[in-house]
Amino acid sequence: MRIGIIGGGTIARMFVEHIRRGDLGRARVVAIAGRNERSRGRDIAKSYRVPFVVGAKALLAKKPEVVVEAASHDAVREYGEALLKKGVALIVLSCGALCDDTLRGKLERAAERSGALLSVPSGGIGGLDALKAACVAGVEEVTIAVTKPPAAWKGIPYVERLEIDLDRLRGPHVLFEGAAREGVPHFPANVNIAAVLSMAGIGFDKTRLKVVADPALKYNTHYIDVRGRTGRFSIKLENVPAPENPKTAWLACYSALAALKAVKSPVRYGT
Ligand SMILES: NC(=O)c1ccc[n+]([C@@H]2O[C@H](COP(=O)([O-])OP(=O)(O)OC[C@H]3O[C@@H](n4cnc5c(N)ncnc54)[C@H](O)[C@@H]3O)[C@@H](O)[C@H]2O)c1
């Protein structure tokens, strides 16, 4: 399998490392794509002796079969449609970008027309198998509470506008509560899990999102509750954050690797 990676951060580095170790069999990285010539991806590419490129055209020239987007909402907009149109499978991690119905429609149509796979892994959450099954029967309520230590919420313009001193919180503080449609765009690098939950379930308008900064937390902790005709279920996830990036959980990195493994597998266990 010829793999392209967009991004040069926590997930991109982990990916290249696993592929280099042979964890994905004969898969190899054919290019790492960055935002510009000075991007961090260039250093990763150099240290793993992989070509570094900028832009969809240059990435396509390296003839990837599958591209893993591990960069940003902008990257989904810049690369997504161009890759799918050319029949390249795309695994999207910055899936909050797909809260934009126009963009999601373009990607879905490009995938339909070319036959390429558009895959959004479950990232830092689970239970999407049960949710999808329950939705066939009918689901009335899906809620997700995304709670992380205060450090994970720093540097976000929406949070800065709230004028909260994240270093001095004494207890849990709710940063947002409402529809995923409204909340997801406020936190571009932090609540992608609410986006994949919405897309696998009852959509961005009906899925309820609560975002909390909690100084007592060691792990990124998420609570999901689903109620519908088949019954109810509740899930709690306590995710170990990546040491260099408190916004990203290890589980999310490994979910992308698992999605990549599934691309060519003729057998599927679980919905
Ligand atoms: N779906 C999930 O559950 C989930 C979980 C964790 C992270 N994520 C998302 O995955 C992405 C990667 O996570 P990370 O922890 O590796 O982030 P990171 O911040 O460590 O690295 C992101 C990298 O992407 C690069 N980048 C940004 N915009 C780009 C563009 N337009 N073109 C090319 N490169 C670009 C940056 O320069 C940086 O090197 C983020 O968007 C993050 O929000 C999703």
The one-digit pLDDT tens for each residue of the chain (271 residues) are 999 999 999 999 998 999 989 888 889 999 999 999 889 899 999 999 999 999 999 999 999 999 999 999 999 999 999 999 999 999 999 999 999 999 999 999 999 999 999 999 999 999 999 999 999 999 999 999 999 999 999 999 999 999 999 999 999 999 999 999 999 999 998 999 999 999 999 999 999 999 999 999 999 999 999 999 999 999 999 999 888 888 888 999 999 999 998 888 889 898 8
Q: Which atom of ligand 1 is nearest to the CA of 124?
A: 3
Query: What is the widest separation between alpha-carbon atoms in the chain?
Result: 53
Give the global pTM: 0.95
Count CA atoms within 13 Å of residue 147 on its CB side: 20
What whole-number distance in Å separates Cα of residue 202 and Cα of residue 140? Answer: 8
What whole-number distance in Å separates Cα of residue 11 and Cα of residue 237? Answer: 19
Q: Report how far ligand 1's centroid is from the alpha carbon of 258 (Å).
A: 18
| Closest residue to atom 44 of ligand 1, CA basis | 93
Q: Which atom of ligand 1 is nearest to the CA of 8?
A: 39
Task: Give how far Cα 186 sits from Cα of 89, 132, 176, Å.
Answer: 28, 26, 9
Q: Report how far ligand 1's centroid is from the alpha carbon of 152 (Å).
A: 14
In the residue annotation, 222 being an active-site residue is answered as: yes
Look up residue 52 and give its amino acid. Answer: F
Q: Report how far ligand 1's centroid is from the alpha carbon of 144 (Å).
A: 22
| Closest residue to atom 32 of ligand 1, CA basis | 35
